[in-house]
Amino acid sequence: MRLSELPLEVVADCPLCHESGARDFVSRGDGMQVVQCTTCSFLYLNPRPVNEALQRIYSTAYYESSDEMCGYREYLRREREALDGGWHIGYTILDLIEQFEPLLGKKVIEVGSGSGSVLRIAAQKGATVQGIESCAEMAQYIQKHLAMSVMHGSLEDADLPDDAFDLVLLCEVIEHLSDPLGAARQLQKCLKPGGLLFLTTPNAGCTGRFGGSWYGFHASYEHVSYFDMASLNRLIGQASLDVLGAWSFGDTHPDVHDKKSDTASTLLKSVLRSFASELAPSLLNRYRRTKRRQTLYPCTGIEQAHSLWLLAQKAATPYAE
Ligand SMILES: [Zn+2]
């Protein structure tokens, strides 16, 4: 699936600061153009698919995609394997959040809940959980197999009550949204005073080292917004939230610059993985759990890891007007 085949619209103003000036930054692997706001430096796709067309991407095909450009391969199988092995990313995320706020008895909502793995871990920790999911089949899957409350639709269409949740989860979602600021403001409203917003997104700060050849521009072509720590801070501030902590997670994907070694190392890793999963699955799971813990770094401004994690809080008392 190519985004350029969808109905496109020209973005007149920066989605973050609403100023109009922008310069070309990089032409992605699919030919779509990423521009940089000349006022706030935010990177966004322009032109981009109209929102209605963008929403239609998230079907069953998206989660079981054989497409190199967009979506996930064998999503459900991988999710189950990670949950059963105890190394799902949700464990790392929720353990981190619990360093700030225990989840027992808390009300949690996840936007883009996929197959519900993170919500399932949150429920195991004693939270009351709820999801919003664009893909109808995934929403049905959660309701059927996990008996959790999930709303099928987009965040924009969700009529969320004010001051209702202790924690909002937004994992690898904000970069898919045409109006990330509107979404952040909507989520701030639905948080209780003192409530937390946790989000993860690919780290466009990697462009400082890799420029236009950064991995983020050459995979996941459904992304329309690219955040680094500065633009994420701006987003959070404009949504009247306070940053409690920021982390850089994962590797840098340097191998994307060398397709040959990328293919060779990917092949080698997959052979080693299949051997290990046949011969010593518990050892492999232990290695994966350890690796998850080791690759989370507090953000101090020069991180190059591929993913940014951020925890923000709604003020406990309303701001003075
Ligand atoms: Zn801007």
Q: Is the pLDDT of residue 9 over 90?
A: yes
Q: Looking at the domain assignment, is residue 130 inside a domain?
A: yes
Q: Is the pLDDT of residue 155 over 60?
A: yes
216-229 per-position pLDDT tens digit: 898 888 899 999 99
Q: What is the tally of structural domains in the chain? A: 1
Range of the domain at 122: 9-255+293-314
71-87 per-position pLDDT tens digit: 566 677 888 888 888 88
What's the gap in Å between 136 CA and the centre of ligand 1?
Answer: 34
Out of 9-18, 242-251, 258-267, least confident range: 258-267
Q: Is the pLDDT of residue 257 over 50?
A: no
Q: Taking phi first (over 0 means left), then psi (-120 to 50 degrees means alpha), and beta for anything else, what does residue 74 get?
A: left
Which domain CATH number covers 305?
A: 3.40.50.150
At residue 24, the pLDDT reads 97
What's the gap in Å between 44 CA and the centre of ligand 1?
Answer: 9
* SS3 track for the chain: CCHHHCCEECCCCCCCCCCCCEEEEEECCCCCEEEEECCCCCEEECCEECHHHHHCCCCHHHHCCCCCCCCCCCHHHHHHHHHHHCCCHHHHHHHHHHCCCCCCCCEEEEECCCCCHHHHHHHHCCCEEEEEECCHHHHHHHHHHHCCEEEECCCCCCCCCCCCEEEEEEECCHHHCCCHHHHHHHHHHHEEEEEEEEEEEEEHHHHHHHHHHCHHHCCCCCCCEEECHHHHHHHHHHCCEEEEEEEEECCCCHHHHCHHHHHHHHHHHHHHHHHHHHHCHHHHHHHHHHHHHHCEEECCCCCCCCEEEEEEEECCCCCCC
Comparing 275 with 246, which gets the higher pLDDT? 246
Q: Looking at the domain assignment, is residue 51 inside a domain?
A: yes
At residue 71, the pLDDT reads 59
Tell me how crowded residue 29 is: count the other CB atoms within 10 A of its CB.
13
Q: Looking at the domain assignment, is residue 162 inside a domain?
A: yes
What's the gap in Å between 19 CA and the centre of ligand 1?
Answer: 6
What's the gap in Å between 235 CA and the centre of ligand 1?
Answer: 10
What's the gap in Å between 216 CA and the centre of ligand 1?
Answer: 20
Q: Looking at the domain assignment, is residue 304 inside a domain?
A: yes
Q: Looking at the domain assignment, is residue 277 inside a domain?
A: no
At residue 131, the pLDDT reads 95
- The model's pTM is 0.85
152-164: average pLDDT:
93
37-48 per-position pLDDT tens digit: 999 999 999 999
At residue 46, the pLDDT reads 97
What's the gap in Å between 190 CA and the centre of ligand 1?
Answer: 25
Comparing 99 with 279, which gets the higher pLDDT? 99
Per-residue pLDDT band for 177 (boundaries 50, 70, 90) equals: very high
Q: Looking at the domain assignment, is residue 267 inside a domain?
A: no
What's the gap in Å between 43 CA and the centre of ligand 1?
Answer: 8
94-147 per-position pLDDT tens digit: 999 999 999 999 999 999 998 899 999 999 999 999 999 988 888 888 888 888
Mean pLDDT in the chain?
Answer: 85
Q: Looking at the domain assignment, is residue 25 inside a domain?
A: yes
